[in-house]
Amino acid sequence: MLKLPSLNIILKRLLRTVRRFPAAILVALIATCVLSYFTHNEWQEHNIQHYQALCRILMCSTLALPLFIAVTILSESRRHKVIKKTLWQMAALALIVWYYFTIGDLDKLNIVVFARYFLYALSFHLFVSFSPFLVKGQINGFWQYNKILFLRFLLAALYTVVLYGGISLALWSIDELLHFTINYKKYLYVWYLFSCIFNTVFFLGGVPENLKELNEVTDYLKGLKTFTQYVLLPLVTIYLLILYLYILEIIIKWALPKGLVSYLVIGYSVAGIFSLLLIYPIRNNYENRWIKTFSRWFYFALYPLIILLGIAIFHRISDYGITENRYFIIVLALWLFGISTYFISDNRENIKVIPISLCFLAIFTSFGPWGAFHISEHSQMNRLKEILVKDGILVKGKINGKTQHRISSNEDSQIWSVVDYLENSASLDVLQPWFDDVMIDTIKSSASSLLFKKMNIILSNKKEWNDCYYSSKNSMENGIVVKGFDMYSTFFYNSAFRYDTTADKDTISLGYFTFGHKDSFDIFPLHGTDMFVLKKGKMELVHIDFRGFLKHIDSLYNTDSNKITNEVGYDKDLSIPNDKFVLDLATDSLQFRFLFQNISTEEKSGKINFTTIEAGVLIKNK
């Protein structure tokens, strides 16, 4: 009969966990408070600096949690005295404080900030996995320790979801049956409480203390072997066969591999390595001799896939330069080559090298001139400079904006993509030496549009861009796919009409769409730019680059070869497949998808104006 622990035992375990991991639990509490504050106060434009500071605190708290856990376990494994334990905790705190002041501006979605955050989060979580086993040996203890952490994580997640679901159902019942109004925010507060505090404390309560004893443990879950042997490994083998068939196909056709294959190879490799790690303890059992054979051939089989990955990624780099994604694919390819070579040579079996090497790479690639962000920025700058110099736009290190520059739609698209990339990565200031009349660091919004104008570029394959009409190829007669979204609405704009649905009388809305009876969204021109802004009331949600979207469509369909349809009065009449005539936008809490049916434009005084926009709009809460 199962005997449940008494309340007194539960409280003792709780206090023991709090004493053991006080710093980790404190930062979990801080994260809960910050999230609750955001939910309670919502977003206020006049207090942006305050909210940015809180966002930085939230980011630091989520990074500090695994770091404090790692240094605590490290101190326990080394039997550090109180003073040395405290010094380790202070060192971890100093690292987090340093990170706080290096985060930078969060006003825009800066891919560098969030990519670096992800790298640090990955490295700190990996540090937890090996921090108490930095000494030589204890491979079995290392595996048993991580097995316990993994199972405890799954159990904590299960308890969290079940308890939250039960409490939420109780709140809903009180609201529906007893007519006590329960605000939606209460559900969020409960989620923060369980996902941040309860989940953390429950997980930490199961972190093993006697780590040296784990090296003698020989327990192995039979279900784990069954799952790995009859589910994971067969799937890995199937994917291996598919990838090898693809290699055979590109050899026969003598074609370059698709860029997507890079992600497939990395996904397959990670799944295979993870599968081998799961069955590591039983590899030496007589009945499991096949594991060593499979492991050795698995790493040998990675070599052709790594070559395939290399060809695919270097083909993309030669065409479009290095970006962060391509940089990390190259690093992972080199890592896979090193890991495969390590485990093949001399039958080495030190599996600790996997998390330790990944942790090192995550830190190493996050900063410095060798890091992902510096190399990507440098590569894209060189790519942009080469195009601008060739077309006479950049002369002696300065943008020549006094002369109109006629370029092809392909070059126009490439220039736009690089400038947009630099803006998204908050690196536009590297272009400052090229401009004398623009202070890039003072531009608050739509910098890429302004800089593009300064280059005075026009398309050489069109004498004039007069009236243009874009339409979806099949309209909407085949139905609208709304899977994955919560609601559907329609958006319509015609230049013959004007909308004014807000209290802001100084600005005329381009149009609006509604969801339900409460939520109304307007689209306004963004003053001083070619961009538009989506607002809910007076709150700015996201900027919209309709003109950039049409440039992208033009580059995809080579508009210079489109038939001129004088009968309908348009210089260009372009029918576009429905799946290409889509624009996705996202905020922190909402996702929008515009399913365009038609867009018409006209050119007046050198400026492209929209005359008609008709679209369906899908929305979902994240």
202 and 56, same domain (yes or no): yes
Query: Where is the domain boundary, 191, 214, 237?
Result: 214
84 and 160, same domain (yes or no): yes
Residue 284's pLDDT is: 76
Task: Please report where in the chains the tokens 């690292």 appear, as a residue.
Answer: 95
Query: Tell me, what amino acid is at 166?
Result: G
> What tokens were used for 600?
């018409």
Q: How does residue 138 score in pLDDT terms, banded at 50, 70 and 90?
A: confident
User: Using one digit for the tens of pLDDT, what is the confidence trace for 252-261?
Assistant: 888 778 777 8
Residue 145's pLDDT is: 94
The rounded distance, in Å, linking the Cα atoms of 208 and 224 is: 20
CB 142 within 8 A of CB 133: yes
268 and 334, same domain (yes or no): yes
* In the predicted structure, residue 543 carries a pLDDT above the cut 90: no
3-state DSSP call for residue 476? coil
199 and 245, same domain (yes or no): no
Q: Supply the angle between the helices 22-41 and 184-192 in degrees, to the nearest 10.
A: 170
For residue 293, what are the contacts with CB-CB under 8 A and spacing of at least 6? none
> Which range, 18-32, 181-195, 293-307, 368-382, is most confident?
18-32
With 0-12 / 13-18 / 19 or more C-beta atoms within 10 angstroms meaning exposed / middle / buried, residue 190 is middle
83 and 187, same domain (yes or no): yes
- Would you tell me how many other CB atoms lie within 10 Å of the CB of residue 132? 24
Query: Tell me, what amino acid is at 567?
Result: E
In a domain, 110, yes or no: yes
CB 614 within 8 A of CB 596: yes
In a domain, 67, yes or no: yes
Residue 131's pLDDT is: 93
3-state DSSP call for residue 387? helix
User: Using one digit for the tens of pLDDT, what is the confidence trace for 561-582?
Assistant: 333 333 333 445 667 787 778 8
192 and 164, same domain (yes or no): yes
* In the predicted structure, residue 379 carries a pLDDT above the cut 80: yes
User: Using one digit for the tens of pLDDT, what is the confidence trace for 433-445?
Assistant: 887 766 666 665 5
DSSP 281-303: GGTTSGGGHHHHHHHHHHHHHHH
CB 73 within 8 A of CB 46: no
Instruction: Name the DSSP letter for residue 431.
Output: G
> What tokens were used for 340?
């495969």
In a domain, 30, yes or no: yes
H-run or E-run covering 374 = helix 372-390
In a domain, 1, yes or no: no
User: Using one digit for the tens of pLDDT, what is the confidence trace for 395-438?
Assistant: 888 887 777 777 776 777 788 778 778 877 777 778 888 877 66
475 and 441, same domain (yes or no): no
Q: Total structural domains in the chain?
A: 4
User: Using one digit for the tens of pLDDT, what is the confidence trace for 41-93?
Assistant: 876 655 778 888 899 999 999 999 999 999 999 999 988 899 999 999 999 99
The rounded distance, in Å, linking the Cα atoms of 582 and 596 is: 6
User: Using one digit for the tens of pLDDT, what is the confidence trace for 17-33?
Assistant: 999 999 999 999 999 99
Residue 549's pLDDT is: 85
Q: How does residue 461 score in pLDDT terms, banded at 50, 70 and 90?
A: very low
Residue 281's pLDDT is: 85
SS3 content of the chain, % helix, strand, coil (to 5): 60, 15, 25
328 and 208, same domain (yes or no): no
Residue 561's pLDDT is: 37
The rounded distance, in Å, linking the Cα atoms of 195 and 204 is: 13
The rounded distance, in Å, linking the Cα atoms of 104 and 493 is: 38
In a domain, 578, yes or no: yes
Q: Please enumerate, as own/partner, the contacts of 543-548 that have beta carbons within 8 Å and a separation of 24 or more.
A: 543/445, 543/446, 544/583, 544/585, 545/446, 545/449, 546/583, 546/599, 546/610, 546/613, 547/449, 547/608, 548/416, 548/420, 548/449
Query: Tell me, what amino acid is at 245?
Result: L
**For a pLDDT cut of 90, what percent of the chain falls above it?**
31
Residue 503's pLDDT is: 38
Exposure string over 521-558, b if 16+ CB within 10 A, otherwise e? bbbbebeebbbbbbbeeeebbebbbbbbbbbbbbbebe
Q: How does residue 117 score in pLDDT terms, banded at 50, 70 and 90?
A: very high
CB 495 within 8 A of CB 611: yes
> Which range, 235-249, 385-399, 469-483, 487-501, is most confident?
235-249
Mean pLDDT of the residues in the chain: 82
* In the predicted structure, residue 450 carries a pLDDT above the cut 80: no
322 and 299, same domain (yes or no): yes
Give the CA count within 13 Å in the CB-facing half-sphere of 538: 8
Q: How does residue 124 score in pLDDT terms, banded at 50, 70 and 90?
A: very high
Q: How far apart are the first and last CA of the chain?
A: 44
Q: Please enumerate, as own/partner, the contacts of 333-337 that have beta carbons within 8 Å and a separation of 24 or more.
A: 333/306, 333/309, 335/361, 336/266, 336/269, 336/302, 336/306, 337/302, 337/303, 337/306
Across the chain, which distance is largest between two alpha carbons, in Å?
A: 87
| Cα dihedral value 118, 123, 128, 132, nearest 10 | -170
The rounded distance, in Å, linking the Cα atoms of 48 and 61 is: 20
For residue 561, what are the contacts with CB-CB under 8 A and spacing of at least 6? none
pTM for this prediction: 0.72
In a domain, 294, yes or no: yes
The rounded distance, in Å, linking the Cα atoms of 40 and 54 is: 14
Looking at the DSSP assignment, which residues form a beta bridge with residue 576?
Answer: 472
Query: Where is the domain boundary, 424, 459, 494?
Result: 459
For residue 195, what are the contacts with CB-CB under 8 A and spacing of at least 6? 160, 164
349 and 206, same domain (yes or no): no
204 and 177, same domain (yes or no): yes
In a domain, 10, yes or no: no
* In the predicted structure, residue 266 carries a pLDDT above the cut 80: yes
Looking at the DSSP assignment, which residues form a beta bridge with residue 513?
Answer: 521
Pairing of strands 539-544, 532-536: antiparallel
Range of the domain at 381: 372-459
CB 569 within 8 A of CB 601: no
Q: How does residue 330 score in pLDDT terms, banded at 50, 70 and 90?
A: very high
In a domain, 8, yes or no: no
27 and 90, same domain (yes or no): yes
H-run or E-run covering 553 = helix 546-557
Query: Where is the domain boundary, 198, 214, 230?
Result: 214
CB 220 within 8 A of CB 279: no
Q: How does residue 473 score in pLDDT terms, banded at 50, 70 and 90?
A: low
Torsion angles phi and psi, residue 156, rounded to 5: -65, -40
* In the predicted structure, residue 499 carries a pLDDT above the cut 50: no
